[in-house]
A and B are shown apart, each in its own frame.
Chain A
Amino acid sequence: MRALPGKFARIAAFVPVLLLSLAGAACSADSMFLLGDACVSCHLTCERVTPEISVVAWKKSVHFRPDVTCSACHGGDRYLALPFKKGHLGLPTEAKAEASCGSCHEKELADFVYIRPRSAKNGCKAGCVSCHSYHNVQKAGPELVSTETCGACHSADKARPAIEAAAKLRENRDGLLALLSQRRQAGLPVEYYENELVSLDKKTARAFHASGMTGLATALSQGPEKEIAELSARLAGDSPAGFHAQGVFVVLLIIFALIVLAFTFRSLPKQGGKR
């Protein structure tokens, strides 16, 4: 790609980026960071990647933020449309893409690549983008384990146990979130459960990255599944209904005591006192 003069590129980038930013600004002020972005100015208007437009797809993803712009994975400089020899990678190789992912998601990459290295006989041939996509990256969760994602490499029979285990995990997690929502609406403290959920999500991610397709179902049932069940049981026991039931009991006890005292008082002789 022939490099445009920097100053002209910045000015030329302004118009489509402004249009994109204004559209984005109606929903979020975050898209103002796109002003002056040279990558977006070309790739929004002269798009070669099909079926999805990369910039539009990236805008819908969780990576649509100032610190994960195009140059994070494709190299170069977002403000100066640089040629390949000056750092622009174009379409990165698998290894370079993984290195980009690992620059932020270090632990996840370590779990995925080093525990089951690709060079090993049973190593996973997929990379990060095989499951997480490249532009339209969504928040990771059990819903990624699906026929659509796993079926790209694995047969239906091999993928089924993992897909079913992930679906069950998702269902139980949704149930846990519903209980948490009830508790939050009742004004009860939820921080403990929210922290546990974050920790659980990290363990779930680790189970996904560190297990193969055959081991995933077992890893989920022995780890996150059990923890979700324990957390749900604790949350069910700690429910708003339980808290309110305690309140009803205490208040009724006090009312009963008041009634007893009132009857005792009524039975006392009215007259009395020497002075």
Chain B
Amino acid sequence: MRALQEELATGSTPAPRVPADWLAFTGTAIIALVFVQFATGVMLFSYYYPHVAKAFSSHQAIANEVPFGFLVETLHAMGAKMIVALAFLHLFLVWWHGSYRGPRARIWYAGMGLLLAFLVTGFSGYLLPWSQQSFWACVVGTEALRAVPLIGGGLVWLLRGGENVGQPTLVIFYLCHVLFLPAAIVTLLYFHVKWVWKAGVTGPSDTTARPDLDKCLGCKACSLACPFTAIQMIEVSGRKRPALNEDACNACRACVILCPASCISLRGPEGAVRNEPLWPHAVLRRIMASLGAVGLLFFSAFFLHGLFIAGKTPADPLLTPDRIKPDWYFLAPYQVLKVLPSERWGLAVLFLLTAALCALPALDPKGLRDPARRTVHRFLVKAAAAGLIVFTIWGYLS
């Protein structure tokens, strides 16, 4: 706590330069929404009954008879959708700005783990109301795993607790949703935030570190600190001075933080990047971003729930509905599986894309960071974002 207070009192972070920089606070907004999910989840947990004969009616009872039950249930459902949307936005922003390299690689890995945990939590929670939509989305979603070579059948059996979706499936999904996945999310979140705190907020992607040679002591701390070997010490007038390779610098601020003479700052095309204190400036920005996200969630829950949450009928294993659709964040993979010639191909493509994204720090460990100077990088990020949007809309309409 003392270290935290000291860091808040003395630390600083690059201040947002343009209105779009407020998107950088998606991470804090996600944390705020996770808190809301936990709070609403505890309330739902108290009244929900994980049995096939009672799950639907207990879910209806929460909406109809528990005080504020409908609001809590809607906040929980809408919150899940918003968390995944913000998580994707956060991912694309970090990817765009190249903030996954060097000391931030482990932050990226934890972040990808969090994204996958959010997706699986959403999938498991989708089944719990035991409605027609939930049941059949689970049937289709779990059945897709059968295409995995060698172990597909076993995987499906394990996940469902049997050959068909039934009571064991509900119990497995319930345990995952209320116990294992929240524990995983809390653990990953803890390490993710801790490592972000340790590494510091990365500088803007069009900036590089610039040492002030007049103040420099020649201690080589910056050269030793730099994970990208962007700073080399050279002899200038009989003294060691840092020489920066701007193309290699990733503005990670390791040298800025560790320089004992505070002679290094981030500089961009328009000059030095302004820093602001952690307290109260950066903290206030984050509180405002969180409040904005929570406000949007409440607005959606009160006024837009009809758009995003369909009416429910009890699950009927003997009656297949006409249109079985997963929640919005699975529409894109769902459409990929439908478009490709076989499910095995579809699963392979999805697996490779996910693996490539997870392994991004290993595939792109160093080099230029400014997106304006990286054509292939810009193309990849935009193609991925566009692909996600197009396939999601296509999956919704098909």
Smallest CB gap from B278: residue in A: A273
User: Is residue B298 within 8 Å, beta carbon to beta carbon, of the partner chain?
Assistant: yes
Contact code string A238-257 (vs B, CB < 8 Å = 1, else 0): 00000110111011001101
A230 to chain B, nearest CB (A): 15
A63 to chain B, nearest CB (A): 26
- A192 lies within 8 A of B64 (CB): yes
Given known pairs A250-B302, A254-B295, the reply for A191 and B64 (CB within 8 Å) is: yes
Specify which of B12, B287, B288, B294 is in contact with A273 (CB 8 Å cutoff).
B12
- Chain B CB count within 10 A is highest, among A192, A272, A274, for A272
- B63 lies within 8 A of A268 (CB): no
- A254 lies within 8 A of B12 (CB): no
Tell me, in angstroms, the Cα distance from A207 to B65 when the chains sit together: 27
B64 to chain A, nearest CB (A): 4
Smallest CB gap from A184: residue in B: B311
Tell me, in angstroms, the Cα distance from A18 to B231 when the chains sit together: 93
Given known pairs A188-B70, A268-B280, A275-B12, the reply for A255 and B295 (CB within 8 Å) is: yes
The count of residues in chain A whose C-beta lies closer than 8 Å to any C-beta of chain B is: 29
Tell me, in angstroms, the Cα distance from A262 to B284 when the chains sit together: 9
Tell me, in angstroms, the Cα distance from A247 to B294 when the chains sit together: 13
- A273 lies within 8 A of B284 (CB): no
- A270 lies within 8 A of B288 (CB): no
User: Is residue A29 within 8 Å, beta carbon to beta carbon, of the partner chain?
Assistant: no
User: Is residue A152 within 8 Å, beta carbon to beta carbon, of the partner chain?
Assistant: no
A24 to chain B, nearest CB (A): 25
Smallest CB gap from B14: residue in A: A273
Given known pairs A254-B295, A261-B287, the reply for A275 and B11 (CB within 8 Å) is: yes
On chain A, the residues within 8 Å of B13 by CB distance are: 273
- Chain B CB count within 10 A is highest, among A257, A272, A275, for A275
A162 to chain B, nearest CB (A): 34
Contact code string B22-62 (vs A, CB < 8 Å = 1, else 0): 00000000000000000000000000000000000000100
- A187 lies within 8 A of B302 (CB): no
- A274 lies within 8 A of B10 (CB): yes
Given known pairs A254-B298, A274-B10, the reply for A262 and B288 (CB within 8 Å) is: yes
Tell me, in angstroms, the Cα distance from A186 to B74 when the chains sit together: 14
Tell me, in angstroms, the Cα distance from A268 to B256 when the chains sit together: 24
User: Is residue B262 within 8 Å, beta carbon to beta carbon, of the partner chain?
Assistant: yes
On chain A, the residues within 8 Å of B257 by CB distance are: 275
A to B contact number (C-beta, < 8 Å): 83
A184 to chain B, nearest CB (A): 9
On chain A, the residues within 8 Å of B309 by CB distance are: 187
A192 to chain B, nearest CB (A): 4
Specify which of B276, B277, B287, B298 is in contact with A247 (CB 8 Å cutoff).
B298
User: Is residue A119 within 8 Å, beta carbon to beta carbon, of the partner chain?
Assistant: no
Tell me, in angstroms, the Cα distance from A191 to B277 when the chains sit together: 53
Given known pairs A247-B302, A250-B298, the reply for A192 and B65 (CB within 8 Å) is: yes
On chain B, the residues within 8 Å of A187 by CB distance are: 305-306, 309, 311
- A257 lies within 8 A of B12 (CB): no
B217 to chain A, nearest CB (A): 16
On chain B, the residues within 8 Å of A250 by CB distance are: 298, 302
On chain B, the residues within 8 Å of A273 by CB distance are: 11-13, 275-278
Tell me, in angstroms, the Cα distance from A275 to B309 when the chains sit together: 48
On chain B, the residues within 8 Å of A193 by CB distance are: 64
B69 to chain A, nearest CB (A): 8
- A251 lies within 8 A of B287 (CB): no
Tell me, in angstroms, the Cα distance from A244 to B302 when the chains sit together: 6
Given known pairs A188-B70, A243-B302, the reply for A275 and B291 (CB within 8 Å) is: no
Listed by A's residue number, 9 A-B pairs whose Cβ atoms lie within 8 Å are A189-B64, A244-B303, A247-B298, A250-B298, A258-B295, A261-B284, A264-B284, A273-B275, A273-B277
Kindly list 13 other residue pairs between chains A and B, CB separation below 8 angstroms, not including A187-B306, A192-B60, A272-B276.
Answer: A187-B305, A188-B70, A193-B64, A244-B303, A247-B299, A247-B302, A251-B298, A251-B302, A261-B287, A261-B288, A268-B284, A272-B12, A274-B10
